[in-house]
Amino acid sequence: MLKRDDVIEVIDRAFAEDVRDGDVTTIWTIPETKQARAEFIARADGVIAGLDVAKWVFERVDGAIVFDARMADGDVIKPGDVMAVVSGSARGLLTAERTALNFLQRMSGIATMTAQFVKEVEGTKARILDTRKTVPGLRVLDKYAVVAGGGVNHRIGLFDMVLLKENHIEAADGIGPAVMSVRKGMAQDGRTLKIEVEVENLNELEEVLLVGADQVMLDNMSIAEMRQAVERVANFDGQKPALEASGDVSMARVRDIAETGVDYISVGALTHSVKAMNISMLFR
């Protein structure tokens, strides 16, 4: 769930670059006492996300503006649906319009793409994960939108999970030394975090099984290799790590990946290549 305090700073930065010392077009065109009402209308099929953020945008401009959400984040929308109605100062509505739409369109685009990937893997056990490939400063919004679309958040940042990737392993002189160093560091700091290790082949998977990990990222493996990895873990007598498929995951390929039996599929495109949803705000 989004918290207002976590988002206000992002909203303020958006206004700082957009409004600065005044919305001159609106100020010089619209009387200060003019009141208005506007509707947020969907122009495409999709999944909505970001309604609270849009509400907070209007509140930041003018606390007297009323934002009436007619739908909820995660709802499926179709062209013509009215997702929210705003009313109050016409100047305030116009000044906040683009900032509110920027957040709402991007977040709904992420939710929509996530929902499409989730639908593609229906009937399998695979869950769709996001990544850290988010717009700097917008991670909390991007990851919230993934959940609104039915996906699952991977780690939020570098602080809440250990993920040993290729360069960590190279710098630490191997998977075994890297994992052992992590465990030593966690013990010294009195912390317990999930450990995930990235592997590029089945031999590296064997190394991880030997030292133990909570999760293994199968990076850029073929479908055949992923099936073998799933079978190997299923037959392993020790700690069975969850398996995450990663690397160049497309809509056309995600079903084949899911049917290998992996637990998770991470999709960077959810946040780094999203297409903003077509949403309009129209005065009525």
Residue numbers annotated as active site: 98, 133, 165, 198, 219
Angle at 35 between CA 34 and CA 39, to 5 degrees: 135
- Indicate the Cα dihedral angle 25, 28, 34, 38, nearest 10°: -10
Beta strands of the chain (E only): which ranges?
35-42, 46-47, 66-69, 76-77, 82-89, 127-129, 162-164, 195-199, 215-219, 242-246, 264-266, 279-283
Residue bearing tokens 């709402």: 104
Residue (of 138, 131, 157, 161) closest to 265 by Cα position: 131
**Distance in angstroms (rounded) separating the CA atoms of residues 70 and 80:** 13
How many other CB atoms sit within 10 Å of the CB of residue 34? 12
CB 218 within 8 A of CB 245: yes
Contacts 24+ apart (CB under 8 A), 92-95: 92/58, 92/61, 92/62, 92/64, 92/65, 93/36, 93/38, 93/58, 93/65, 93/281, 93/283, 94/23, 94/25, 94/26, 94/30, 95/19, 95/23, 95/26, 95/61
Three-state DSSP state, 153: coil
Find all residues with CB under 8 Å of 147, minimum gap 6, and list them. 153
